[in-house]
Amino acid sequence: MWLPCGYASLWAARALPAVLGALAVPATYLLAWFSFRSRLIGVLCAALMVVSPFGVFLAQEARHYTLAILLVIASLCCFVLSVWALRQRAAPSW
């Protein structure tokens, strides 16, 4: 079977999930900080994300599961901010 050279790069296929996996660490810190308003808990959650074997495995795969992880973290941040606004008896802002 003939495959053309230069169209598919293994490095390019794995670079985006690795970058997204690296971006998941500060996103996890922000989610924990929004949730608990504690820098210590934010750092602990980010540290758990760094050493998580499943997170490292997903970041090494050539599939974009880490994009789904970032989208889940972003939606949880929006949820936490909405709950925070409702507890303050204010309308959630965009």
Band the pLDDT of 58: cuts 50, 70, 90: confident
DSSP 63: S
| Per-residue pLDDT at 64 | 84
Contact 59, 14 (CB under 8 A): no
Q: Cα(10)–Cα(15) distance, rounded to whole angstroms?
A: 8
- 32-41 core/surface letters (b: 16 or more CB in 10 A; e: else): bbbbeeeeee
Return the residue matching tokens 């909405």.
82
Return the residue matching tokens 């971006």.
23
Single pTM value for the model: 0.83
Q: What is the pLDDT of residues 19-54, one digit of tens each?
A: 999 999 999 999 999 999 999 999 999 999 999 999
